[in-house]
Amino acid sequence: MARKRFNQDEKEIITVGAAVEWRNGSHWHPGRVVSEIKTDLGWQYVRVEHTGPTTSTVMRGDTIEVHPGSIRRPVAD
């Protein structure tokens, strides 16, 4: 079951302007946080700008609502 709230590790990386990775299905993409944590009907989310290349499902520059469990620190190459 999906979590409604970000855990402590996730909260530590959610700062406007921070580089993060966000999950779309089973794929992780690079992004940049563009909002503080928001809540809608008890469910937290944060807005992230997609900074990676355009794919079949998301364009570079799109703003995505990212939920708990779908955000992490960027993984080193």
pLDDT bucket at 4, cuts 50 / 70 / 90: very high
Contact 34, 61 (CB under 8 A): no
Given this model, what pLDDT does residue 77 score?
56
Question: Are the CB atoms for 71 and 48 separated by under 8 Å?
Answer: yes
Domain covering 8-72 assigned CATH 2.30.30 in the classification? yes
On the CB side of 71, CA atoms within 13 Å amount to 31
What would the two tokens of residue 75 be?
A: 């993984």
- Integer Cα distance of 49 and 61 in angstroms: 6
Which residues pair with residue 29 across a beta bridge? Answer: 22
Q: What is the pLDDT of residues 66-77, one digit of tens each?
A: 999 999 999 875
Contact (CB, 8 A) for 19 and 1: no
Instruction: Give per-residue pLDDT as tens, 7-35.
Output: 999 999 999 999 999 999 999 999 999 99
pTM of the model: 0.92
